[in-house]
Chains A and B, each alone.
Chain A
Amino acid sequence: MLTFTIRRLILAVPTLLFISLVIFLLLEMAPGDPMAQVPLTVPPEVKEKMREALGLGQPMHVRFWKWIVQFFWIEPQVLIDHMFGTTFSEGDLRVISWQTRSPVMDIVVQRIPQTLWVVGTAYVVAILIALPIGIYSAYRQYSWFDQMGTFVSMVGFSVPPFFSGVLVIVIFSVQLGWFPSIYDTTHVVDSWDSFVVQLKQMIMPVMVLALQITAQLSRFMRASMLDNLNQDYVRTARAKGLSEYTVVMVHVLRNSMIPVVTVIALGIPSIFGGAIITEQVFKVNGIGQLLIGAIEANDLPMVQTLTFIFAVLIVLFNLIADVLYGILDPRIRYD
């Protein structure tokens, strides 16, 4: 298992390098000019110097190498400095945003808590809802509960977040006035009342995200339970005289959870992608909105870094899912 994990980790390096190259080359073709906003009165040779100060004008491979060094060597050093108060990265050039002229990673770190709060809560809520629904639908297959579950998850698949989000805004904040339609990220939770306000503003984005995740997860849980419910060991357990609760919740559930756990792990990075739209609808000040803003403002280093962070998440969680699968299911042997 350890050798497998190490091998996968080593294999992830060329994958990530390839992805970073793709992203870099794609952005290399960008028509936008960061100097477009500079006044026309600035002489061309000064403009050229400004361009060089932004790291442009050098050959492509040099810039790619510099970006790789900045991203994989200097940024981790900054992180270590930040955590332990050391000074490894002093004087090193970091990835600079063209919008704010401040290091990209600092802005990302500022934005991540908002995304994690909303997306993370949504994921936990979705898991808590989806698993019981999946278990019960499989246990009572073709019952009205199962039929309802199938329909609701089909709807969850089909209604895009930009519609369900807008719909809940119309119903719950425009018509009923229960929840605010805009997520206020500056809100500080320090008392019971402010906690209630925080809860109120989180309900709608969390529900919209959770609907989608629940739809997929409950279907998967149901299919996995159905696979196991007809197995011989279930009949044996019943024949031994175990209670129905023990048979389903201990014997069947534990075996059915193996693929579901890996699917939960695999879904985490795609949730960050899906959150781009939800963040836009509810004006959550997270990384999704940061990406959209950077694309609109032509801020290439920011776009590059964010896209790459998404890619790292995907590769990382793929790896985690594979390893988890091997740990949970002793029949799987990778080597």
Chain B
Amino acid sequence: MTDKERFVPDEGLAPASTALPSAGPMEELTSPPRSQWRDVWDQFKTHKGAMIGAMLFILIVASVYLGPFFWDIDPTKIDIRARNQGPSWEHPFGTDQLGRDMLARMMAGGATSVSVGITAMLLALFLGSFIGVLAGFFKKLDGPLMRLTDLFLALPLLPLLLVMMLLFREPLAATFGLERGIFILIVAAIGITSWMPTARIVRGDVLAIKEREFVMAARSIGTNNSKIISRHILPNVLSPIMVSATLGIATAIITESALSFLGLGFPPDFPTWGRLLFDGVDYLQQYPERVFWPGLAISLTVLSVNYLGDGLRDALDPRIRGR
């Protein structure tokens, strides 16, 4: 609530500490101006947790997308004679009850989970920024759009998501094919139910920015509304959008896994981390590692993304930066 008022958008100006000449030597004055993103990066580097989180996230994303090129066992290949094997050089994570290689399944599942997370986040971000900018910029739309946001916030989300999965699974699977249909359904369901926080934050920032002098200057030289929004408003609300983007990935991955865990996500033969966890629960007593690996993957991904978002929030906040 108060964050909105305290947040002062940066206009690409260097912070006062570097722009104002101090008692230092004269060379400092002639050094080239530093860009905003350079400052953000310098601040981001000092946050140890965020750096580790960013590296871990890149590592996870790289291994789930590029891993299959190096580990080319088909995740759906059934080898019933090699079922329920423990870890070995042939199968580092062992095999499941049908003899499918767990490492390959983990990578395939991760690719799906991360794709769902990123796509759902993009959808939620687009919806949230769109509604937030409209509500903040056009006074007439503010009331209705914010009431709509409040209504969506009052919906019980997890039960509704479950109901949506139940209702639209069949028709979408029939039109787009089983896997793609469910992918679209999950992404749409998560996106539609998680745009509200972004919309609120963006609206608050837009409300503050549109009263600033540079917007008035742009208007006075005859810039039309769409240009003002795309050229002057949007670049200045980029930082809250980026922070909610990282946090959005985390929520989307957890929601997808929760749906899969409750048996309402992707079909059984189509691995995602949540589904692997769900399948592993049946063999909990004999092979606890089958639950452990997917769960650890989900938790590590979400933890790294959360730390990344934390560092990004600090780095993008001009009040903290430069100190």
Interface positions of A (Cβ within 8 A of B): 15, 18-19, 22-23, 26-27, 29-31, 154-155, 157-160, 162-163, 166-167, 169-170, 174, 269, 273-274, 276-277, 280, 291-292, 295-296, 298, 303, 306-307, 310-311, 313-315, 318
Contact = CB atoms under 8 A, between A and B. Distances in A.
Task: Give the interface SS of chain B, mostly helix, strand, loop or mixed.
Answer: helix
A15 B154 contact: yes
B306 A170 contact: no
Interface stretch (B17-25, B101-109, B211-219, B283-291): B283-291
Interface string B252-269: 001001100111100000
A31 B167 contact: yes
Contact of A27 (B150, B155, B167): B167
Contacts of A274: 158
B164 interface: yes
Interface residues of B, number: 43
A167 B264 contact: no
A311 B159 CA distance: 10
B113 to A, nearest CB: 12
A328 B288 CA distance: 49
Nearest to B307: A154
20 contacts: A15-B151, A15-B154, A18-B151, A19-B155, A23-B163, A30-B167, A31-B170, A154-B49, A157-B306, A160-B254, A160-B257, A160-B258, A163-B299, A166-B291, A276-B162, A276-B262, A277-B262, A298-B166, A306-B159, A307-B156
Contacts of B156: 269, 273, 307, 310-311, 313-314
Interface in B233-265: 250, 254, 257-258, 261-264
A18 B170 CA distance: 27
A24 B302 CA distance: 34
Nearest to A157: B306
Interface-centre pick from B164, B285, B310 (highest chain A CB count, 10 A): B285
Contact of A295 (B162, B288, B295, B307): B162
What are the 3 A-B residue pairs with the smallest beta carbon separation, nearest first? Answer: A310-B156, A163-B295, A158-B303
A19 B162 contact: no
Nearest to A313: B156
A277 B154 CA distance: 20
B138 interface: no
A311 B299 contact: no
B281 interface: yes
Interface in B287-323: 288, 291-292, 295-296, 298-299, 302-303, 306-307, 310
A282 B164 CA distance: 25
Interface string B142-170: 00000000110011111110111011101
Contacts of B285: 174
A303 B163 contact: yes
A55 B176 CA distance: 34
Contacts of A18: 151
Contacts of B167: 26-27, 29-31
Given A166-B281, A273-B158, A307-B159, A295 B258 contact: no
B277 interface: yes
Interface of B: 49, 150-151, 154-160, 162-164, 166-168, 170-171, 250, 254, 257-258, 261-264, 274, 277, 281, 284-285, 288, 291-292, 295-296, 298-299, 302-303, 306-307, 310
A193 B14 CA distance: 69
Contact of B262 (A29, A30, A159, A292): A292
A314 B160 CA distance: 13
A174 B284 contact: yes
B249 to A, nearest CB: 12
Contacts of A15: 150-151, 154
Interface-centre pick from A166, A269, A303 (highest chain B CB count, 10 A): A166
Given A18-B151, A162-B261, A295 B281 contact: no
Given A29-B168, A155-B299, A160-B298, 12 more contacts: A19-B151, A26-B164, A31-B171, A154-B49, A159-B303, A160-B295, A160-B302, A162-B261, A163-B299, A174-B285, A280-B262, A306-B159
B264 A295 contact: yes
Nearest to A159: B299
Nearest to A307: B159
A311 B292 CA distance: 34
Contacts of B306: 154, 157-158
Nearest to A29: B167
A276 B159 contact: yes
Contacts of B263: 296
Given A30-B167, A31-B170, A154 B160 contact: no
A296 B299 CA distance: 28
Contacts of B162: 276, 291-292, 295
Interface-centre pick from B156, B171, B281, B310 (highest chain A CB count, 10 A): B156
Contact of A277 (B150, B160, B258): B258
Given A158-B303, A277-B262, A169 B151 contact: no
A276 B263 CA distance: 13
Contacts of B291: 163, 166-167, 170
Contact of B302 (A158, A303, A311): A158
Contact of B159 (A162, A167, A291, A318): A291
Contacts of A313: 156
